[in-house]
Amino acid sequence: MNSIIMVTIVAGNIISKAVFPDMDTCMVSRDKVVKQPSVTVSCVYSTKKKDNSKHMLTIMSGFLKAINNAAKEEAAK
């Protein structure tokens, strides 16, 4: 899912990021902020990164089960 991010830069440093639902809303806000001296403001598209934490937990759970089973087999010898 895409979102719009307004990035505010002062003296070469990013000082703020704000998320907007559409480009028009971002541009209206941008017009207000850019009136300040020495401020650069850009509205850019951003793609939301997929959350893979549940998949990673599934992998780790399988790994721990495999280790546990191997330990049980080793102890049974």
Is the per-residue pLDDT at 67 higher than 60?
yes
Structural domain that includes position 57? 2-76
pTM score of the predicted model: 0.52
Please give the full DSSP string across the chain, using - where no structure is assigned.
-EEEEEEEEETTEEEEEEEESSHHHHHHHHHHHTTSTTEEEEEEEEEPPP--HHHHHHHHHHHHHHHHHHHHHHHH-
The model's pLDDT over 12-58, given as tens digits with 9 standing for 90+, comes to: 777 888 888 888 999 999 998 888 888 888 898 877 777 788 888 88
pLDDT at site 2 = 64
Is the per-residue pLDDT at 77 higher than 80?
no
Number of structural domains in the chain: 1
pLDDT at site 49 = 73
